[in-house]
Every structure is written in structure tokens, then in C-alpha cells.
Structure 1
């Protein structure tokens, strides 16, 4: 299966088989299906990921976390990596 390409204007959420464990440095994400482990080294990205399902798109989740539009590129990159590793999935009710 090919993972979708990250699009900041889509609605994303954590995969149902992913657990988030907060840590002093950020968080650990563990995917029980693929057995992959990801480290989030920034508390702001953890806040974005935890709030994705509350926002219509990733861009809005970043804005809600206080990330200005001009500063969102590194966060979008991190989210894209998580999409490729199947930690994040597009909302199944949304059409691309």
C-alpha cells in the first residue's frame, strides 16, 4: 500500500493503532500494527498532532498551536514523515 502524500489542507488524524506517550522532550508514537516507533522532539508538534482531529486541516491545527503561516514548513515536513510512516491517516470521510 502506498501512503498518501501529505497535504496541509486535508483533514488528518492519528491512525487508530497509534499510541502517543508524552515525554519531557516531546513524545513517543508507537504503531501497534506496523510496530514502528517515532520520536517527536518538540512539544509544539505533539500539540498539533493531538489536535488534528479537532481541526478541518493540518494548517488550522498549526495555527491553533500558535505557529505562524511562515513558520509552518518544518511542521508540515514532520507531519509528512508521519503520513509516510502511517502514523497519521487522512480522514476516511473526506475525498481528496
Structure 2
């Protein structure tokens, strides 16, 4: 299985340490449309016109489940992502946040 990604690039071998993002509530931006693909999905932001590849089905499940879980950790767990893999997925989620694909929930 390829590593998760929030962009066309692969996840670095040494992802940044976990941060408070795990305990925060996030959601897919209302300006983003996901198109399912065999590798995962394409995400398009209609506001900033960014196109991003989500390179794993688990990442797609995580992103689409963010709005229904109290925090990122809950969405990752529900998507079947093992706790040891959370740091790698956080790298991808941070990249999605940086391009406004996902945003903090209020």
C-alpha cells in the first residue's frame, strides 16, 4: 500500500512528531469536492483552485469522516489507521490543512 499523502508527493520517511491536531476537530472544506479514484481520490478546492491527490483509501475515509468524529484521532481510528501510523497521516492532514482542503471545525 502506498503511503498516505495530502499531495502528489510522498510522505517523508521521517514525519514530524504528532501535535495537537490529533485532539482537534476538523472537517472537509465546503469548497472542496472529492472524486473517488482507484488509488484514493482527487480533491479540488473551488475557491483556491488547488488540485490534490489523496493517495490512500484510508486517507479518504479519514478526511470524509472528520466531520462526524470529535477529533482527528477518532477519524483515524474509525478509518482503520493503526496508532503507529498516525504520525504519517498527520503529515498528510497538515498538507491538506495548508491548502485549505480541510479546516478546523467550530
Q: Is residue 89 of structure 1 aligned with residue 71 of structure 2?
A: no
Assess, with a 3 A threshold, how the Cα gap between structure 1 residues 6 and 13 changes in structure 2: closer, same or farther: farther
Q: Displacement, 1:8?
A: 1.6
Q: Under a length normalisation based on structure 1, what TM-score does the superposition of the two structures give?
A: 0.87
Q: Which runs of 5+ in 1 are unaligned?
A: none
- Runs (4+) of structure 1 exceeding 3 A deviation are none
TM-score by length of 2: 0.79
In 2, the alpha carbon distance for the partners of 1:68 and 1:7 equals 16
Which of 21, 24, 42 is equivalent to 1:10?
A: 24
**How many residues were matched structurally?**
88
Gaps of 5+ in 2: 1-18
Q: Does 1:36 align with 2:50?
A: yes
